[in-house]
Amino acid sequence: MGSGRTIAALQALLPDLWTFALRLASTPEDAEKLLDNLCHGIQAGTWECAPYMSMRVNLMSAMLRRWQQKVRHPEACAARTARAASRIGANSETNRHLLQVVAMLPDEQRIAIILVEAERLTPSEAAWAWGLTTDELERRLVRAHAAVRKALENDAPPVRAYVPARRTACPQAEEVAVTRP
């Protein structure tokens, strides 16, 4: 794909990418930095586009990998997440509570829900974008749904515990991605 077509596709997908960045990051400022980093990487030609995936999935994958590579401090991350969850706007109290529960999930579960439920990627697209096998993504999604169900039944948000990062590799990923277990 030529660079002109890539830039045009990027411009067309900016609203979707902005929404995805907001879902990944805990603040609009972090989302803006993430999207800016992605755009600079594309302009510099430092990313690869898999021809068998849509441009949207390729761009989300690049953004997710950049977000994962960012060094995050667990204490600051938990505090930002709690503040972000308290500011969530929704059209009903039930939706607000659901969004707050999802915001408080551990990253591995939150991202699985974001990719499949919010971004409407198929499990195979979401797994590819994240650098996981489809089975691993589906396991994380099952754990996420169980945590959301339990939190909603108990009428309390899940506890966001710090989990040290682990390295996983997926055959379709060219580089090793740092993920949360």
Q: Measure the CA–CA gap between 48 and 181, rounded to whole angstroms.
A: 26
Domain ranges of the chain: 3-179
pLDDT tens per residue across all 181 residues of the chain: 446 777 787 788 999 999 999 888 878 898 999 999 888 888 887 777 888 888 899 989 989 988 888 755 555 555 555 555 555 555 677 777 788 888 889 999 999 999 999 899 999 999 999 999 999 999 999 999 999 999 888 876 665 544 444 444 444 443 334 444 4
The CATH number of 3-179 is which of 3.40.50.2000, 1.10.10.10, 1.20.140.160, 1.10.3720.10?
A: 1.20.140.160
Other CB atoms within 10 A of residue 121 CB = 23
Give the angle 71-18-27 at the CA atoms, nearest 5°: 50
